[in-house]
Amino acid sequence: MKRTTTFLLSLLTGSVLAQTPDSVAIRTIYDEALSHGKSYDWLRHLTKQIGPRLSGSDGAQKAVDWTKQIMEKEGFDRVFLQEVMVPHWVRGAKEEAYIHNGKQKVTVPIAALGGSVATAPKGVEAQVIEVKSFPELRALGAAKVKGKIVFFNRPMDPTKLNTFDAYGGAVDQRANGATEAAKLGAVGAIIRSMSNRHDDQPHTGGTRYGTGVPLIPTAAISTNGADLLSKSLTENPSLTFYFKQNCETLPDAKSYNVVGEIRGSEKPDEIIVIGGHLDSWDLAEGAHDDGSGCVQSIEVLRIMKALGIKPKRTLRAVMFMNEENGLRGGIKYADLAKQNNEKTIAAIESDEGGFTPRGFGIVGKPEERAKAMRWAPLLAPYGLTDIGPGSGGADIGPLAQTGTVLFGFKPDSQRYFDYHHTPVDRFEAVSQRELELGAASMAALTYLLDQYGL
């Protein structure tokens, strides 16, 4: 027994002696976030008091005003706005849709895709062509597609462990389906929602129209609705589908990125960006996408101030505008950084939800990635074990052109597409504990980047 006790004591002593100033600093960062964090209360206000924040909307402007006030209240060294013109698309009255099998009309849930045109005032009704891919559609040719509604029904691959990989394998239908269908004379396009969950929630999202191609209305159908439509087509290939939507694209509107910073004490001209996108789709409160990323980014700077950490480099929390349907804010930020000859050494983006932290994807040169990965032992005790080459984030992507190393915060991905771009992306779907762990994870990486650079 004495020998066992001595061995355990030696392990404990070794553990204490092995502590470094960095490990102690990171521990205090987590303690602060988990004991005195403000991110959850901020998220509650952003979602419940402001709500949906699609670019150009009143909600988006309220979010700009509020986040600016929050950062000023926290006493950041500088808080400012960057003007940016953004798309202004409005959904209008709720969409209607049904399957007409000749005997009865079965209502199904749809949502117009962002940027889509409206149907005719009375809607559009036509026979349906179901396809899984663009090559399959093209093989059918205009003779079979003209005058029909094309139904894109390729599901996200359920075997992909990272659901963002599954999303990437299916989202081309949403982005370009209407254009591909219109090239062959289709009168509309219906897209299976981007989710592996079987429910009645249609997932909206952005769509793009190619030049020189007729603009046809396009909408997402819920996964349950897609399954029903597919089954109904098997039983009756001659059935028709009806849908009506009332969306409209208005002239571009003035909006803003919101930026708060703590100026560096030793190398103020070297900047570290931490950000998320302030806009959200109009159907939802935008809690996971991307209210979580915004409040986590502000929380990183708050933690530094609360702990009395004086960063060597300038830290910037950036609330980007218009990620969802244009990326104008991210492009504008990068353009201004280039015009002002700013040196952004690293940028961190949180835009994968407020779930349990898993790690960071890194975009940069091999030697830059290798240096960041040497910090893995400091981050592993907090569950951050997935650190390596990966994606950064849409908003910070334009900064890569000037040599900025990009870090994409990676929470657990399994539940994200249950909520993504739907009305159920609400405050109640976010765990306070997971949200605060994410903010602490981003703050820990920010601390290391600030201490050692890249």
What is the token pair recorded at 86?
Answer: 């953004």
Nearest one of 282, 359, 319 to 111, comparing CA atoms: 282
171 vs 125: CA distance, rounded Å: 25
**DSSP secondary structure letters along 197-227:** S-SS-----B----TTS----EEEE-HHHHH
H or E element that contains 243: strand 240-244
Going by the DSSP 8-state scheme, the letter that residue 85 receives in this structure is: E
Contacts of 89 (CB under 8 A, 6+ apart): 54, 55, 56, 114, 115, 247, 248, 249, 250, 325
Cα–chain center distance at 210: 24
What is the token pair recorded at 209?
Answer: 């129209």
Candidate list 130, 261, 323, 342, residue with the active-site label: 323
At position 390, the amino acid (one-letter code) is G
Helix (H, G, I), strand (E, B), or coil: what is residue 231?
helix
Could you give the dihedral angle defined by the CA atoms of residues 180, 182, 187 and 188, in that order, rounded to the nearest 10 degrees?
40
Q: Is the peptide bond before 290 cis (omega within 30 degrees of 0)?
A: yes
Q: Is 323 a catalytic residue?
A: yes
425 vs 256: CA distance, rounded Å: 24
Q: Is the separation of the CB atoms in 360 and 409 below 8 Å? A: yes
Q: Which residues are catalytic?
A: 323
